[in-house]
Structure 1
Amino acid sequence: MPQTAPPPSVTTQTTSSQRPHRAARLEDRWRAVVSRFQKARGWRPRVEPFTGYGSTRRVRVLGRVLLASPAYDPTATADRRGWRYFFTAPASREEVRVHVGDAVVDVWSDRSGYLDVTVDVELPPGWHDVTFRPASGELVTGRVLVVADGRRLGVVSDIDDTTMVTAVPRPLLAAWNTFVRHSSARVPVPGMAVLYQGIASANPGTPFVYVSTGAWNTAANLRRFLQRNAYPPGPLLLTDWGPTNTGWFRSGREHKNTSIDRLVQELPDVDWLLIGDDGQHDPEIYTRAARQHPDHVAAIAIRQLTPTQQVLSHGSPLPTPGDDAHRPEHEAPVPAAQGPDGSALARSLAQALAAYRR
């Protein structure tokens, strides 16, 4: 591929101009050593495509470039234990040719191998293929969801303890669920898939976007879980658990805030139903979104964890008295629903969703 700068129709994800944190610099040095060793042994770049999204005029394309051994077999990766997904070799600064619709662009992976690019392209609503070809690797195909123009309902859903029972963020249980269990052993939250199916059926063209603080390494596992349990398909917006320019770890709350803000900006015709649980910070995050974007948040739905699940999640049977998300002055300026499962949430949401039923 020619070494050219991205064309004006392409916007790549930007990073802070400040010097990276010491942890990130150390990680980069280690990765450079490992990468040289692996390439010397015949490892070549491969792209793991993630599901993108966008409007009929611009789409966001997502993926990650990894180094794969000559013996790599993509068919052997299904339903592995979670820890295996974290033993990856990211390929930084790799050039990849992306083809979506009639647009062809050359992009470069970031320091952790991620591709995050927006492309100006005319596409009809629905699902479309995206192809990725590394400069020295095989072509792979991903997908992008194009949302139709016009006012419509959309769903932003958390994953942990909202669609699946996870018991996050207690470290030992979270580690067991994330690193040890097979995806087929994960347990869905009762009634949530039926709730989502009902929303999709009553509101054709509803985009579903799953926003979680989980690692991108688990994306394939999560996609299989959602598909196996009949959740509507949609993009996953996850995080990279490695060091950043500012510290050892990323902020999960900042990731969710930024993701929702970006969805509102990129899909301004969508009124978002925000669905999460009260085991972490979803009530606070969603209330902030409703206050920041009152014309773009239709309602908030919070799955209530049982007292036992509350203990497993944050060590106490009830939210702490000082938790701002549960104080009256922080109530959201939009309809709100609560319930222990999908059936209860469906009943509580009935009035708020009635306005979108055709």
Structure 2
Amino acid sequence: MRWFKKDPLQIIGFRSYGTDTHFYARGRALEDESIDLEDQHIWHLIVNTWKRFETDEIKGVGLDLKLPDNTIIKVTTDDSGYFLAQENINGLKALANDEGWLSFELSYNDATIKRTIQNRNRFPSEILIPSPKADFGVASDIDDTILHTGVVSILKWRVIYNSIFRHAKHRIPLEGSAEFYHKLHRGASGKNANPIFYVSHSPWNLYRYLELFLRQNNFPKGPILLRSLGNLLRKKPQDEKPQKQKEILNLLKTYPNLPFILIGDSGEHDPDIYMEIAEEFPDRILAIYLRSVKHKKKMIRVKGLIENYKTTQVLMVEDSKEAIAHAKAHGFIA
């Protein structure tokens, strides 16, 4: 007799990026815990948070990624259920829509697997192939850059409170940030379609939560690049780069002819990471925008860092109006 019914299986495709000749996609195979993104009652918010972090991953399983032209890419999930698909394939741009999004289908490649919802072993995902009209890309943090999270609060209690007790639909973006990002997306001509990449230290467990927040608040659609909870908790070697830095470096490698604007906040490590990247790629980083946070010691430290920094433009801003004025003055936006 079965006392507990097993949850159905799912595959979450993380919105990623690529080029006309390089396919790069990530995601995770998990049991479907039926997280309700719409329910806003406090008890459901607590339960949903528990489900996000108490995941039942499907490790060592084979997956098929089916492209619109029926090309099949095969991958195997790791011990945490994650997969990474990297393939050199010509003509990917022709498979994307007018906005550069290439949709594909994920499935378990074991035909005997029946534990998917309604036995539909098909899950959507997509990658962005930036438009040739793009003048630059934007790599932006999320926490305290476009979403107030309280990363500088004592013991980060505000982060914990906001993540558990506040629905994504009730989270308020920092004023003017969506407008600024749309202006950057449209660029100087108003028709550039500059790609926006959202790069955060948040774990992949919050992917759907952050995806809903960005969509709900009308931010430009873009890849969302987070990190695994395992990497968040493990002790790193002293010389290992932060995951956010690795992600941005991979963007610079993937798009060698595309300069970037970096956007973050002055509360944590964004200034150090961004300035180190600019030192390595002085001709590729057009500007660094850092949103000021309400923490006196951290602000003093960051001001000291950028006081004599000449490699690229670093602007500390109190609000989006300052960033918009600067971007307009330097020809980044119309």
**TM-score, normalisation: structure 2:** 0.82
Please say if residues 242 and 248 of structure 1, whose CA atoms lie closer than 8 Å, have aligned partners that are also in contact: no
How far apart are 1:268 and its partner, in Å? 1.3
Q: Which moved more, 1:187-196 or 1:338-347?
A: 338-347
Please say if residues 297 and 334 of structure 1, whose CA atoms lie closer than 8 Å, have aligned partners that are also in contact: yes
How many Å separate the matches in 1 of 2:131 and 2:82? 27
The Cα offsets for residues 308-327 of structure 1, whole Å up to 9 and x where unpaired, read as: x32xxxxxx23276x47733
SS of equivalent residue, structure 2 residue 235: coil
Please say if residues 271 and 302 of structure 2, whose CA atoms lie closer than 8 Å, have aligned partners that are also in contact: no
Please say if residues 186 and 333 of structure 2, whose CA atoms lie closer than 8 Å, have aligned partners that are also in contact: no
SS of equivalent residue, structure 1 residue 165: coil
Q: Which residue of 1 aligns with 2:84?
A: 116
Q: Which residue of 2 aligns with 1:341?
A: 319
Please say if residues 283 and 325 of structure 1, whose CA atoms lie closer than 8 Å, have aligned partners that are also in contact: no
SS of equivalent residue, structure 1 residue 319: helix
Q: Determine what percentage of the aligned residue pairs are the same residue.
A: 25
Q: Which residue of 2 aligns with 1:158?
A: 141
Residue 350 in structure 1 maps to residue 317 in structure 2: no
Q: Which residue of 1 aligns with 2:72?
A: 104
Please say if residues 200 and 206 of structure 1, whose CA atoms lie closer than 8 Å, have aligned partners that are also in contact: yes
The Cα offsets for residues 173-206 of structure 1, whole Å up to 9 and x where unpaired, read as: 1111122211112121011111111112235221
**TM-score, normalisation: structure 1:** 0.77
The Cα offsets for residues 251-301 of structure 1, whole Å up to 9 and x where unpaired, read as: 996111101110000111211100011111111111011111122211111
Match of 2:298 among 319, 323, 340: 319
Q: Which residue of 1 aligns with 2:13?
A: 49
Q: Which residue of 2 aligns with 1:314?
A: none
Distance 1:95 1:215, change over 3 A: same
Q: Which amino acid aligns with 1:139?
A: R
C-alpha RMSD of the superposition: 2.9
Residue 67 in structure 1 maps to residue 31 in structure 2: yes
Q: Which residue of 2 aligns with 1:146?
A: 129
Distance 1:325 1:293, change over 3 A: farther
How many Å separate the matches in 2 of 1:181 and 1:294? 40
How far apart are 1:93 and its partner, in Å? 0.8
How far apart are 1:128 and its partner, in Å? 1.4
How many Å separate the matches in 2 of 1:276 and 1:282? 6
Q: Which residue of 2 aligns with 1:201?
A: 186
Residue 265 in structure 1 maps to residue 250 in structure 2: no
Please say if residues 306 and 314 of structure 2, whose CA atoms lie closer than 8 Å, have aligned partners that are also in contact: no
Map 1:1-358 → 2, pairs under 5 A: 41-68=5-32, 73=34, 76-78=36-38, 81=45, 83=49, 84-102=51-69, 103-121=71-89, 122-124=91-93, 126-134=100-108, 135=110, 136=113, 137=116, 138-149=121-132, 152-170=135-153, 171-203=156-188, 204-242=192-230, 247=235, 254-305=242-293, 309-310=294-295, 317-319=296-298, 323=301, 326-327=304-305, 331=309, 333-352=311-330, 354=331, 356=332
> How many residues are paired up?
305
Please say if residues 141 and 199 of structure 2, whose CA atoms lie closer than 8 Å, have aligned partners that are also in contact: yes
SS of equivalent residue, structure 1 residue 187: coil
Runs of at least 5 residues in structure 2 that lack an aligned partner in the other structure = none
How many Å separate the matches in 2 of 1:327 and 1:193? 28
How far apart are 1:330 and its partner, in Å? 6.7
